[in-house]
Amino acid sequence: MPYSDYETALVTGASTGMGAAIVRKLRERGLTVHAVARDAKRLQELADATGAIPHVVDLADLDALEAELDGLTVDVLVNNAGVSATGNILDASREIVDAMVDVNLRAVLHLARLLLPGMVERDLGHIVNISSIAGRYNFFGHTAYHATKAAVSQVSRQLRNDTLGRRIRVTEICPGRVETEIFGRNLGGTPEAMAEAWDTYYEGFESLTTEDIVATVDFAIEAPRHVNLGLIEITPTFQVPGGLTFDRRES
């Protein structure tokens, strides 16, 4: 199995939700895992529980990111970190748009720039990019979020071109609604906001869980070394990404 090919991994957005769960799985698989996130307290708790190596760094701070990862050898890179926002481009602030571009897209490109050359030199590596159905389908949501996730799809395909002839695999995992903290953070991150988000977006729905995403990541990495799973779209059975909305104007 390819897990025996790999020794090290790096996971972004590692302090909570899908990121933390992916770190746990990769540690169970025997990899040395570098866990990257901004939340020092949660990251240290994860490190204490799993033996992962914590890196407290803001992905939007390229100088800090380069300094933190300088000289690091990584076989499996999981770009999981992501930010979103309520509303759309009509009421967006500059800070909200920049945050989504910086974390959802810019960091993905720079992590590839920093870590992919080593994979190419060793002729071995796997990049897993967590995108979203928001990047593939048009529905109501924040324009910048849709745009950055669509760009991650293109980056994923292009990285395969960039590494042609090398044993480098690139997988884009494209989830629908997953039970994470993201909606609660969008509403303010308070306990009340978290409760409101759960009632609004998850209560009564059969959403995906973090374990569903972890199993998908695990499946992609564990595939035979000659197999590249380029795109895996995973949605709840009761969620469909399509549909027609027609707004009627009376005057």
Nearest-angstrom CA–CA distance, 232 and 229 = 7
DSSP secondary-structure letter at 200?
I
pLDDT, average across residues 146-164 = 97
Residue 163: name the closest of 127, 195, 131 by CA. 127
Q: Partners of 8 in the beta sheet? A: 32
DSSP secondary-structure letter at 53?
E
**Amino acid at residue number 173:** I
Of residues 25 and 251, more confidence is placed in 25
The answer to whether 48 and 23 have CB atoms below 8 angstroms apart is no
pLDDT, average across residues 207-232 = 96
The tokens describing 213, both together, are 């995403």
Please tell me whether residue 31 adopts helix, strand or coil conformation: coil
| pLDDT value for 216 | 98
pLDDT in tens, 113-136: 999 999 999 999 999 999 999 999
| pLDDT value for 184 | 64
Domain 2-234 coded CATH 3.40.1390.10: no
Arithmetic mean of pLDDT over the chain = 93
E strand segments, the chain = 8-12, 32-37, 53-56, 76-79, 125-130, 168-175, 231-234
Largest CA distance in the chain: 66
Question: Does residue 145 carry a catalytic annotation?
Answer: yes
C-alpha torsion sign, points 126, 129, 135, 139: positive
pLDDT in tens, 227-240: 999 999 999 999 88
pLDDT in tens, 2-21: 899 999 999 999 999 999 99
Q: Partners of 132 in the beta sheet? A: none
pTM listed for this prediction: 0.93
Of 6, 145, 201, 202, the catalytic one is: 145
pLDDT value at 87 more than 90: no
Assign 1 a pLDDT band (cuts: 50, 70, 90). Answer: low
pLDDT value at 187 more than 70: no
